[in-house]
Structure 1
Amino acid sequence: MTLCLILAAGTGSRLKPLTDNTPKCLVEFLGKPILQYQLDVIEAVDIDSVAIVTGYRSSQIQMLGYKTFHNNLFDRTNMVESLFTARDYIKDSIGDVVISYGDIVYEKENLNAVLSCDADICVMVDCGWYDLWSIRNENPLDDAETLKLDHDGNILELGKKPKDLSEIEGQYTGLIKLSKNKVKEFISFYDSINRDQKYDQCSFNNMYMTTFLQLLIDSGWLVKAVKVKNGWLEIDTVNDLKLYEAMDEKGVLNNLWCPYG
């Protein structure tokens, strides 16, 4: 029984004014809410249960009818805190657990690639990242992060500021799968982290997901990269929305992600 947990607690400040009264994941994109694209793909594959971590404007997400967990500290925490708000959902799982950010969309083939991975923990990595980053940023390095792999395709490093393109073998996308056999160990690792330290200049409660994954890697976990080439989008800013919608009007958005497939 594969579970999917969608992290959708944030305020979406970079999508204002569209998020003044609407949670980020429910902002309309090409005719329907961002989250709906993800839900449509999830319903089309072998996932048995979906839950959503809410925070900002949570009642609107609750109205969708899915199981929800509320991050009471949504306005001052990050993705890791949201994930473990739902620890009761994942801790007794008898199947694998998919963890997904609420502000991404992806094609069914990408999700199936993640589901097919038999590693203890795997992460969808976009090896065609430069195509997307180069149209979103004048200098793609400004918003890109390091991602280095070993010879077996396991991640050695992610989430740092790159010096040049050689430090980027792909980009982290916000889609993760945890094997059912590692769920309890995953939670125990989180519980063992020192709450009083800084992690990449952030407090424990504000830890980035990439930082948490790096801590796992540094402690000996093998985190497998599931390599894809495009087939997904991150919708983080108003400029992102305008760009993707303009590309769709020109008929070229399909080069990155197909909204109708």
Structure 2
Amino acid sequence: MQAIVLAAGKGTRLQPLTDDRPKVLVEVNDKPLIEDVFDNLIGIGASELIVVVGYKAEQIIDRYGDSYEGVPITYTHQREQLGLAHAILQAEPYIDGPFMLMLGDNVFRGNLGDVVNRQGEERADAAFLVEEVPYEEASRYGVLDTNEYGEVVEVVEKPDDPPSNLVMTGFYTFTPAIFHACHLVQPSDRGEYELPDAIDLLIESGRTIDAIRLDGWRIDVGYPEDRDRAEEWLDELAANSDEATEESEKQPTDEDVAAEN
């Protein structure tokens, strides 16, 4: 399955970290955010990475060239920062079937593969990885509502009064039907073409969109303190992994048991 990576943002809220680089090249534990995204996507079967670039695009293109870990990369440019629906349309000419979409500034450790598997069942026209957040934080994200079957029935972008605390995480799968919806979207009050508005058009047209709960964690690196938190969580994850390995090595092997007997 192809994968679109949205990497055009300037990252003004991450300044001064983004004064001399695009947002997705900000490093977490000495690794650019976009590399973590690439690794996640390749780990769940991405056959091609279609990267939407914009601010300081040449830094990304010069760094990664035409492939990453053997997976081909295609670049497409978002000349103006006009919202996520607009960004997705820049990749439309390169997509030939169902695809993954990931924001380039998210650090994920979780069940991304469940979303891809659900898309592969051909029951859903789209599937989103979602999570519950405190109500006071929900207004930072696209907030959604679901029915009793776990299907998305409404999405609202950064609402002042969130209808729920269930939010989109920045990882999705779609069929090419999303492009038609993006073409129909009108600018929001912010002057941007919003992805949630395109999703609502899909829902209104009778498309089925499934919500998959995040089993794990993710951090949207929007501010410097988010980068610091991501580093802390990754360090803790690595430490726990090392401890588990040490415990495993302490367990007696079959040869040890045989020798004792």
Question: For this structure pair, what is the TM-score category when the shorter chain's length is used for normalisation?
Answer: 0.7 to 0.9
- Give the letter for the 1:70 counterpart: H
Q: Report what 2:154 is aligned to.
A: 157
Deviation at 1:190, TM superposition (A): 3.1
Q: Report what 1:83 is aligned to.
A: 88
- Give the letter for the 1:101 counterpart: L
Contact in 2 for aligned 1:145/1:168 (Cα 8 Å): no
State the structure with more CA Rg.
2
Q: Report what 1:57 is aligned to.
A: 56
Deviation at 1:212, TM superposition (A): 1.9
| Alignment of 1:72 onto 2:73 | no
Change (3 A) 1:73 1:143: closer
Change (3 A) 1:71 1:141: closer
| Alignment of 1:237 onto 2:223 | yes
Q: Report what 1:106 is aligned to.
A: 108
% same residue: 24
Contact in 2 for aligned 1:144/1:162 (Cα 8 Å): no
Deviation at 1:248, TM superposition (A): 5.1
Deviation at 1:216, TM superposition (A): 2.0
| Alignment of 1:187 onto 2:183 | no
Deviation at 1:252, TM superposition (A): 7.2
Q: Report what 1:5 is aligned to.
A: 4
Separation in 2, partners of 1:44, 1:157? 30
Deviation at 1:217, TM superposition (A): 1.7
TM-score, normalization by structure 2: 0.78
Unpaired runs of 5+ residues, structure 1, are 134-138, 256-261
Change (3 A) 1:162 1:253: farther
SS in 2 for 1:146: strand
SS in 2 for 1:20: coil
Deviation at 1:209, TM superposition (A): 1.4
SS in 2 for 1:83: helix
- Give the letter for the 1:215 counterpart: L
Deviations 1:150-169 (A, max 9, x none): 111111122252646xx325
Deviation at 1:31, TM superposition (A): 1.8
Choose between structure 1 and 2 for higher RCO, CA contacts under 8 A separated by at least 6 residues.
Answer: 1
Deviations 1:97-144 (A, max 9, x none): 11111111223x5220111013111111114x34xx8xxxxx435535
SS in 1 for 2:38: helix
Deviations 1:47-75 (A, max 9, x none): 2111100000101111212210011113x
Q: Report what 2:171 is aligned to.
A: 175
TM-score, normalization by structure 1: 0.78
Deviates more, 1:97-106 or 1:207-216: 207-216
Q: Report what 1:136 is aligned to.
A: none
Residues paired across the two proteins, number: 227
Deviation at 1:207, TM superposition (A): 1.7
SS in 2 for 1:147: strand
- Give the letter for the 1:140 counterpart: E
After superposition, the CA RMSD in angstroms is: 2.5
Change (3 A) 1:218 1:72: same
Change (3 A) 1:207 1:98: same
SS in 1 for 2:111: helix
Deviation at 1:146, TM superposition (A): 3.2
SS in 2 for 1:67: strand
Contact in 2 for aligned 1:146/1:162 (Cα 8 Å): no
Contact in 2 for aligned 1:106/1:233 (Cα 8 Å): yes
